[in-house]
Amino acid sequence: MFTGIIKEIGTIDGISKKASSWRISVKCPSLTDSTEIGDSISVNGICLTASKKAKDTLIFDAINETIKNTTLSLVRIREKVNLEPSLKLKDGLGGHLVSGHVDEIGTVKKLRRSRENVMELVIGVNAENIQYLVKKGSVAVDGISLTVNNIEKASFTINIIPHTQKVTTLGLKKIGDKINIEYDYLGKYTRNLTTPPKEKGIDENLLKTHGYM
């Protein structure tokens, strides 16, 4: 479990592709010393396990399903990534609870900057998933806990203050870029609890049960 507060911007240092998994090396001097083999680290919002460590570098193995359903399939050498170690019981909850299990890949549709250098991002997502968002609620974008400022039919808007641009990769984003999205647990649980179960349609078993066959 994570909080969406980024601790370090790492750099992709190596990518090794195998039949069923990828091995990804991330240079991150600050986190390497405090990370043990087997620890969970959020890499752009994806929960990965540190399988090895070297000087200033953590090495992760990601299975094909994770590669396919996240932006890991698009990473390149020297690309910057957001890093956060898993939450410990003694830690404060700076953002909101983030699992590290990506719900979908969003796309940067619009990008605007104000005079105060606040960056407004409009992110396109699956229209069916908009139900998990509420205005002024939380969402994890590439592992960063952010506030939803506006919601449309198939997109939502977030504002990125200068500090967040500096300590995360969001300041580097461009229109068309892909982003990992994880919806807030609270929104998903609430929707599941308040959505009535779907009624079963008429099928052969139902007809047999009621004596029509």
Q: Of 32-46, 94-108, 135-149, where does mean pLDDT reach its minimum?
A: 94-108
- Report whether pLDDT(12) > 60: yes
- pTM, two decimals, is 0.86
Query: What pLDDT, on a 0 to 100 scale, did the predictor assign at position 5?
Result: 92
Percentage of the chain modeled with pLDDT above 90:
77
What's the rounded Cα separation, in Å, for the pair 150 and 156? Answer: 6
Banded pLDDT at 51 (limits 50, 70, 90): very high
What's the rounded Cα separation, in Å, for the pair 60 and 48? Answer: 6
Query: What pLDDT, on a 0 to 100 scale, did the predictor assign at position 179?
Result: 98
- Mean residue pLDDT of the chain comes to 89
Task: Give the angle 88-91-96 at the CA atoms, nearest 5°.
Answer: 95
User: Going from the N-terminus, what domains does the chain have, and what CATH number goes with each?
Assistant: 8-85 (2.40.30.20), 104-194 (2.40.30.20)
- Report whether pLDDT(22) > 70: yes
Q: Which two tokens stand for residue 202?
A: 């008429």
Neighbour tally for 105: CB within 10 Å:
16
pLDDT tens track for 171-204 = 999 999 999 999 987 766 666 656 655 555 555 6
